[in-house]
Amino acid sequence: MRRMNTNLVFGQYYHTDSWLHRLDPRTKLLGTIFLIITLFLLENTLLIASAFFGTLILILSSKIPISKFLRSLKMMTTLLLITVFFQVFFNRGNVLVEFKFTLTVINLLIIIFLLVLFLLSRKVIIRHRFFLFLLLVIVSFYLQTIVTSGKVLANYSVGLYEDGLYLALKIVIRIITLILLSSLLTLTTKPADLNTGMERLAKPLKHIGIKVSILSMMISIALRFIPTLINEAGRILKAQASRGIDFKEGKFTEKITQIISLLVPMFVISYRRAYELADAMEARGYIPDAERTSISLLKYKARDFLTLVFILIFFSTIVVLKVMDYAI
């Protein structure tokens, strides 16, 4: 029988048998880093767009359903919207469209009335509050263009600038490409492999006294315990709900008690788990500083070599062109 919570596994790995899945994690890590740097070196909109299409081709070759990528984009929509908003309205330049608004006593009163109505309707209309609010904002601006009678309080205009739109477009494509590239990495590589890859890449750091193997052990344990702790938190929430805590409601002071009633048990559980795990690891002979062999041996194959060489050539071409002041 499946439970929702236990399905929640950190990392988004999606298994198919594409060439991207077969690549060595180190290749993918380095490749992704270089591609992202390249992406930010590009200035020309056409080139950025082609980078976007290149990424799309990579995505198609990974045989992973597009919906998985859309999900990670979805999480960033708010960020994208805010970016677009600021770029569009705060970049001066050639005016594309200009909206003129007049704030008068009458439409101000209507707007206030609508706002009060919106706040009072909280108990009646529960769903789609955000869209209702959006509608309210649009209606109140629209009112300022049609209802112009009454004592005028203020005249103002909001312009849409060409440069702003252009810049916004560039930034949006860049961010989307960035998200897609990094999702491509996490979707085609298991978290454990990714961790091993990072450990290997960071190995030279031990010469300057950084204990890479310990760091990577810490990261993999942390990743491993995220779903477990989420499960535990769900259980504690339910247990406290049985003791009469309503996490959805309550005044501010009650909220504090509610949070404490979740946090204290979570701390206790985490500490307990940590001690138990430490004992279990020691019992199986884990010594932090010892040289350890890994169960997943990473082997560099011809395709890894080819991929990396190709990406490096691509990257250095862009850098050289950039240094030579070509408009890219």
Binding site for another protein (CB under 8 A): 1-4, 232, 235-236, 238-246, 260-261, 263-265, 268-269
CB 32 within 8 A of CB 181: yes
Tell me whether residue 112 or residue 256 sits nearer to another protein (CB atom).
Answer: 256
Annotate 123-161 with DSSP letters as a single string: TT--S-HHHHHHHHHHHHHHHHHH---S-EEEEEEEEEE
* E-only strand ranges, the chain: 95-104, 152-161
Tell me whether residue 134 or residue 264 sits nearer to another protein (CB atom).
Answer: 264
Tell me whether residue 72 or residue 240 sits nearer to another protein (CB atom).
Answer: 240
User: Token pair 């005028």 is at which residue?
Assistant: 152
Q: Please report how close the Cβ of residue 122 comes to another protein at its closest, in angstroms.
A: 14
Q: Please report how close the Cβ of residue 252 comes to another protein at its closest, in angstroms.
A: 16
* Eight-state DSSP code of residue 98: E
Tell me whether residue 62 or residue 258 sits nearer to another protein (CB atom).
Answer: 258
Q: Please report how close the Cβ of residue 68 comes to another protein at its closest, in angstroms.
A: 17
Q: Please report how close the Cβ of residue 272 comes to another protein at its closest, in angstroms.
A: 9
Nearest to 39 by CA among 26, 53, 20, 60: 53
Compute how many other C-beta atoms are within 10 angstroms of the C-beta atom of residue 224: 15
What's the CA gap between 245 and 109, in Å, rounded? Answer: 41
What's the CA gap between 166 and 174, in Å, rounded? Answer: 12
What's the CA gap between 316 and 321, in Å, rounded? Answer: 8
Residue 9 phi/psi, 5-degree rounding, is -110, 135
Tell me whether residue 202 or residue 266 sits nearer to another protein (CB atom).
Answer: 266
Q: Please report how close the Cβ of residue 243 comes to another protein at its closest, in angstroms.
A: 4
Torsion sign over Cα 49, 54, 60, 62? negative
Which structure tokens are listed for 270?
């985490």
Nearest to 14 by CA among 54, 52, 57, 71: 71
Tell me whether residue 43 or residue 254 sits nearer to another protein (CB atom).
Answer: 254
Q: Please report how close the Cβ of residue 78 comes to another protein at its closest, in angstroms.
A: 23
End-to-end CA distance of the chain: 55
Category of 269 on φ-ψ map: left (φ > 0), alpha (ψ -120 to 50) or beta? alpha
Tell me whether residue 207 or residue 252 sits nearer to another protein (CB atom).
Answer: 252
What's the CA gap between 222 and 226, in Å, rounded? Answer: 6
Tell me whether residue 227 or residue 265 sits nearer to another protein (CB atom).
Answer: 265
Q: Please report how close the Cβ of residue 229 comes to another protein at its closest, in angstroms.
A: 12
Which structure tokens are listed for 281?
């690891």
Q: Please report how close the Cβ of residue 236 comes to another protein at its closest, in angstroms.
A: 6
Q: Please report how close the Cβ of residue 13 comes to another protein at its closest, in angstroms.
A: 21
Tell me whether residue 205 or residue 260 sits nearer to another protein (CB atom).
Answer: 260
